[in-house]
């Protein structure tokens, strides 16, 4: 018999097939027994109608427990009663390894318990749906950049100092000789790469030692960071817009069933089309003031402010040209408004806040040196970075997209810890 995956069964109606996987749940009603079978690609209901079988197999079936691994042989049958439209009539099955007292029941559990059992929680239906979406986001982000002739250039994880200077970094002993830090962004290295190869991106983990304790923060997360030579802020926002549209299209095309499992209303996603809204920081302040939120020019947006702004729009919105003082040292200033930085944030929508942050970089040697000194950063560490402005500097821009923030929005998941396989948060580093 042909070995197939659950999600391939709909193309094999009437065939006798072999499946390998685990017991998701069992039910029985007198002369008929049901096995919810999962194999990682999906779940299918397998049926054992007692009059068609001998007592030996019925007895073996009764002994099946949640998450026992097994091989099942059966005949695929179309069935309108099944959620996926397909069922399997069991011919025979063989247990590979029994599962005793599986801790996660199909009933409700608390977050503490589920997080402690994350290694098992990943097996459940909603978590599997989220992981499939995440996997696609990563794959199609790479495809997007590949299609546009970007080079994938990996940035180092060990770095000599803070990229943006301000954030707290995780310190690592480097052979007891010196301290290095876990990277919080590959951006500076991408700037070097962009001046070498034009269009580049990196995809990797980032580490922040800030004691953030919210449903939007992880201490270890993943981001994709493109950087392009000869790009200005407008080119940059357009690239971000195209990427987001591409990813949302692919998820809608491939993951309808998973979004349904997650009870994600897809209407807002179907609305993710060109053009996204583009407003300035000052316009955003006005919107907030109009909504009765007390905020003045020069103050940065908090999470509730970002949510309030995003709820004003029916698709993602770019907020650009922030006050330079509240932005990073490397951001280029607006020629017409020296107090404004050519940076932007993309707020995803539906109350989800910053998902992308980026902008045009300072490309003038003297100006950048001045900024580094103003921010009291160790100039020695940035010598190589300044070199980029010394040898054929060009305007360039880039952005960072937080994979988890993005997946959290697309799947509309309450807490960010559910959209990464093994979350690292302030209070949890296990399992």
Partner RNA sequence: UCCUCGGUAGCUCAGUCGGUAGAGCGAGUGGCUGUUAACCACCAGGUCGGGGGUUCGAGUCCCUCCCGGGGAGCCA
Residues 385-414 close enough to bind RNA by CB under 7 A: 400-402, 404-405
Calculate the alpha carbon distances from 164 to 211, 227, 305, 421 in Å: 17, 16, 23, 27
Residue 149 vs 213, nearer CB to RNA? 213
Query: Among 386, 394, 331, which residue's Cα sits nearest to residue 358?
Result: 331
Ramachandran class of 230: left when φ > 0, alpha when ψ lies in -120 to 50, beta otherwise = left
User: Quick count: other Cβ atoms within 10 Å of Cβ 281?
Assistant: 23
Residues 285-324 close enough to bind RNA by CB under 7 A: 300, 302-304, 306
- Binding flag, residue 45, RNA (CB under 7 A): yes
Choices 15-23, 41-49, 233-241, 275-283; region in contact with RNA by CB under 7 A: 41-49
Residue 212 vs 271, nearer CB to RNA? 212
Alpha helices per DSSP H over 90-211: 111-116, 118-121, 125-147, 187-197
- Count of residues engaged in binding RNA, rule: CB under 7 A: 72
Choices 109-117, 153-161, 245-253, 281-289; region in contact with RNA by CB under 7 A: 109-117
- Binding flag, residue 53, RNA (CB under 7 A): no
Binding residue for RNA (CB under 7 A) from 113, 158, 230, 384?
A: 113
Q: What is the enclosing helix (H) or strand (E) of 352?
A: strand 352-360
User: Quick count: other Cβ atoms within 10 Å of Cβ 335?
Assistant: 8
Q: What is the DSSP letter of 211?
A: -
- Binding flag, residue 78, RNA (CB under 7 A): no
- Binding flag, residue 268, RNA (CB under 7 A): no
Q: What is the DSSP string of 358-419?
A: EEEBP--HHHHHHHHHHTT--GGGGHHHHHTTTSS---EEEEEEEHHHHHHHHHT-S-GGGG
3-state secondary structure of 72: strand
Residue 268 vs 357, nearer CB to RNA? 357
- Binding flag, residue 7, RNA (CB under 7 A): no
- Binding flag, residue 34, RNA (CB under 7 A): yes
Write down the least CB distance from residue 65 to RNA, Å.
6
Residues 220-249 close enough to bind RNA by CB under 7 A: 221, 223
- Binding flag, residue 107, RNA (CB under 7 A): yes
Choices 53-61, 152-160, 229-237, 347-355; region in contact with RNA by CB under 7 A: 347-355
């Amino acid at each position: 018999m042909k070995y197939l995956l659950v999600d391939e069964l709909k193309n094999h109606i009437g065939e006798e097939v072999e499946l390998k996987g685990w017991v998701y749940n069992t039910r029985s009603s007198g002369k008929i027994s049901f096995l919810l079978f999962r194999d990682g690609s999906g779940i299918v209901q397998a049926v054992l109608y007692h009059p068609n079988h001998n007592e030996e197999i019925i007895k073996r079936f009764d002994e099946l427990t949640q998450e026992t691994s097994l091989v099942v042989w059966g005949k695929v049958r179309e069935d309108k009663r099944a959620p996926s439209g397909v069922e399997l009539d069991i011919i025979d099955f063989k247990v590979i390894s029994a599962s005793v007292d599986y801790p996660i029941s199909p009933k409700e559990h608390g977050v503490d318990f589920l997080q402690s059992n994350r290694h098992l929680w990943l097996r459940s239906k909603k978590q599997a749906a989220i992981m499939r979406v995440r996997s696609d986001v990563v794959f199609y982000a790479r495809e997007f950049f590949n299609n546009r002739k970007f080079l994938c250039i990996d940035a180092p994880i060990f770095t000599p100092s803070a990229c943006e200077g301000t954030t707290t970094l995780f310190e690592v002993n480097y052979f007891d000789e010196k301290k290095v830090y876990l990277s919080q962004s590959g951006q500076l290295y991408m700037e070097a790469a962009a001046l070498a190869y034009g269009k580049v991106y990196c995809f990797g983990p980032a580490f922040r030692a800030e004691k953030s304790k919210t449903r939007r923060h992880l201490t270890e997360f993943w981001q994709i960071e493109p950087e392009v030579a000869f790009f200005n802020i407008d080119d940059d926002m357009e690239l971000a817009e195209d990427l987001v549209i591409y990813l949302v299209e692919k998820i809608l095309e491939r993951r309808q069933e998973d979004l349904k499992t997650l009870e994600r209303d897809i209407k807002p996603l179907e609305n993710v089309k060109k053009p996204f809204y583009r407003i300035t920081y000052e316009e955003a302040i006005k919107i907030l003031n109009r909504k009765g939120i007390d905020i003045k020019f020069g103050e940065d947006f908090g999470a509730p402010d970002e949510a309030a702004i995003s709820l004003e729009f029916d698709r993602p919105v770019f907020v650009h040209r922030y006050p330079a003082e509240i932005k990073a040292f490397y951001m280029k200033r607006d020629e017409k408004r020296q107090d404004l930085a050519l940076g932007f944030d993309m707020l995803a929508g539906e109350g989800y806040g910053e998902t992308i942050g980026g902008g045009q970089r300072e490309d003038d040697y003297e100006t950048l040196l001045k900024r580094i000194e103003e921010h009291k950063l160790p100039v020695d560490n940035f010598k190589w970075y300044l070199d980029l402005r010394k040898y054929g500097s060009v305007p360039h821009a880039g952005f960072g997209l937080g994979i988890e923030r993005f997946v959290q929005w697309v799947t509309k998941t309450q807490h960010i810890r559910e959209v990464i396989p093994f979350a690292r948060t302030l209070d949890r580093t296990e399992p």
